[in-house]
């Protein structure tokens, strides 16, 4: 291996180390070397001198570095999208929490108003029951008064009838007295 090839390998190895890390880069180099050896064995012929194998290995490393860079950019884009989605989700949750808090406050206020309205309705119902009971008592008193009025009217009618009878008796009595007085006057004139 000449100096230029060694420099190329070092540059690619350093780039691979910077991209993947030394441990992952070493594993990748080892895996590529094994793969080349398997290909060499399966074809039954050598791929060339070590320098050619090194060029193939360098090409594979360069290809792997490019793929890794693309994957890294794709991963970075995916992470940005994920972070944006997380921020959006967090904002949505905060907005929902604010709405829920406002809804809970509205529900609490509504429950308080309903409690007051229910208390007033119960009070009005109690007043209505009391008014109905008082109305029942008034109806009883009115019925009793009507009975008393009817009794008094009957008594008054009876008294008026009795007065009418007494007047008639007085008239009859006066007629008799007048008749007797007239008869006495006649008797006196005859004497």
Mean pLDDT of all residues in 11-28: 58
* Percentage of the chain exceeding pLDDT 90: 40
Q: Which two tokens stand for residue 168?
A: 């008639």
Q: Which of 67, 120, 175, 167 is nearest to 112 (CA)?
A: 120
Q: Which two tokens stand for residue 154?
A: 């009957």
- Label residues 79-92 b or e (16+ Cβ within 10 Å = b): eeeeeeeeeeeeee
Lowest-confidence region among 66-75, 96-105, 129-138, 165-174: 66-75
Q: What is the pTM of this model?
A: 0.36
**pLDDT category of residue 77 using cuts at 50, 70 and 90:** confident
Instruction: Provide the 10 A C-beta neighbour count for residue 25.
Output: 22
Encode pLDDT of 139-158 as tens digits.
Answer: 999 999 999 999 999 999 99
Average pLDDT, the chain: 79
């Amino acid at each position: 291996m000449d100096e230029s090839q060694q420099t190329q390998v070092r540059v690619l190895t350093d780039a691979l180390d910077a991209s993947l890390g030394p441990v992952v880069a070493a594993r990748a180099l080892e895996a590529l070397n094994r793969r080349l050896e398997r290909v060499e064995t399966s074809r039954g012929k050598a791929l060339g001198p070590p320098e050619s194998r090194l060029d193939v290995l360098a090409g594979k490393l360069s290809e792997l570095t490019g793929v890794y860079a693309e994957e890294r950019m794709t991963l970075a884009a995916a992470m940005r999208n994920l972070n944006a989605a997380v921020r959006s989700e967090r904002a949505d949750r905060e907005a929902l929490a604010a709405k829920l808090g406002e809804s809970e406050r509205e529900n609490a206020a509504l429950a308080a108003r309903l409690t007051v309205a229910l208390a007033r309705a119960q009070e009005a119902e109690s007043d209505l029951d009391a008014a109905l009971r008082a109305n029942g008592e008034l109806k009883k008193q009115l019925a009793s008064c009507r009975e008393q009025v009817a009794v008094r009217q009957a008594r008054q009618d009876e008294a008026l009838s009795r007065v009418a009878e007494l007047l008639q008796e007085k008239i009859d009595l006066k007629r008799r007295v007048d008749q007797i007085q007239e008869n006495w006057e006649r008797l006196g004139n005859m004497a």
